[in-house]
Amino acid sequence: MSGRPINPGAELHLGKLRSVPHLGSVTLRDYCGTDASISRAARVSYGRHNATRTESDDAKLIGYLMRHRHTSPFEMAELVFHVRAPIFVARQWMRHRMASINEVSLRYTEAAEECVMDVRGLGPLCADPDSKDSKQGRGEPLTVGAITAADTAQAAWGSFGFALDLQQSDLEYKHARKAGISREQARVLLPLATMTEWVWKVDLHNLLHFLGLRTKPDAQREIRLLADEIAAIVADAYPLTWAAWVEHVRDAPRISASAWRALAGIVDADRLADALAALPDRERREILAALTAAWSAGDAR
């Protein structure tokens, strides 16, 4: 082997700014590894990493690794991004500890002329959620649906007032700076909507964990839009891993032991063989075993 493994899907994205209007951007700066690096690392465990393998072998192995949460081979790919986003997004982003970060500091750097996010990046302003299901998130956009006159007025105020308020915070910072106050003190006036940027280096396993949390429907819209841009890059650069992750993690339901026993009891056993026919052999056997275990548990009661 000579030269680094080249990842054609990643190369397409290198250095290309992916912008989310009024909100921020992500750019892939560097990477190492491909789907084949992942399967090759996994095969080291079996002492077979030098054998020739086809892409279909790789797909099967990567599906198996993902399904059984053998996560270490997915750490063998690494991606480096440059991210621009408002501080309230950066705060969520940096809770993911297994990554390397260098962020611009407002102790060292003057906040830029236009340092506060464009209010349009927030999308339609939304009413407080009153759903019983979730303590987080936002409800319906104030400007959507059969709203009353009073609502309309509020919504109109909302967007307009919001923009004014953000401009106001921006002015307060500049005001303090002109009065000779140090950067590190003046910045406390800046709002959470202030833009920041950072280099973000993360391995693929931890990146998928990030995407799992931040592309979910109940993630805050602003981080979700940026996470979706990253997801699009990952889907191109690691197509086998991406497909396996969607199948076995992202779109897989979370079924508790009790729920599984309940469902096992109302599955039509006669149609089981047909229904599962399209699954890979091994997965089908595992599901039949799990059903059998649930039926036994049911009988035992």
Cβ proximity to a second copy: between 221 and 232 the closer is: 221
Q: Could you tell me if 81 and 29 are in contact, meaning their C-beta atoms sit under 8 angstroms apart?
A: yes
Whose structure tokens read 């621009």? 84
Catalytic residue (choose from 40, 43, 214, 224): 214
Residue 186: exposed, middle, or buried by beta-carbon count in 10 A (0-12, 13-18, 19+)? buried
Mark 107-129 as b/e (b = at least 16 C-beta within 10 Å): eeeebeeebbbebebbeebbbee
Closer CB to a second copy, 54 or 281, in the complex: 281
Which residue's CB is nearer to a second copy, number 55 or number 164?
164
Q: Say how far apart CA 151 and CA 103 lie, in whole Å.
A: 40
Can you tell me whether residue 8 is helix, strand or coil? helix
Assess whether 214 carries a catalytic annotation: yes
Shortest distance, CB of residue 144 to a second copy, whole angstroms? 13
Q: For a second copy, give the closer residue by CB, 35 or 86.
A: 86
Min separation Cβ 287 and a second copy, Å: 6
Q: Give the whole-angstrom CA distance, residue 127 versus residue 111.
A: 31
Shortest distance (Å) from residue 298 CB to a second copy: 11
- φ, ψ of residue 6 to 5 degrees: the values are -100, 135
Alpha carbons 296 and 285: distance in angstroms, whole number: 16
In the complex with a second copy, the residue whose CB is nearer, 11 or 55, is 11
Closest Cα to residue 33, out of 224, 198, 207?
207
To a second copy, the closest distance from the beta carbon of 78 in angstroms equals 5
Asked if 143 and 124 count as a contact pair (C-beta separation under 8 A), the reply is yes
141's tokens: 């956009």
33 φψ region: left (φ > 0), alpha (ψ -120 to 50), beta (else): left
| Nearest distance, CB of residue 38 and a second copy, angstroms | 9
Instruction: Report the distance separating Cα 141 and Cα 125, nearest Å.
Output: 6
Q: Identify which of residues 205 and 229 has a Cβ nearer to a second copy in the complex.
A: 205
- Of the candidates 287, 267, 266, which has an alpha carbon nearest to the alpha carbon of residue 277? 287
Q: How far is the CB of 122 from a second copy (least distance, A)?
A: 6
Name the residues annotated as catalytic: 214
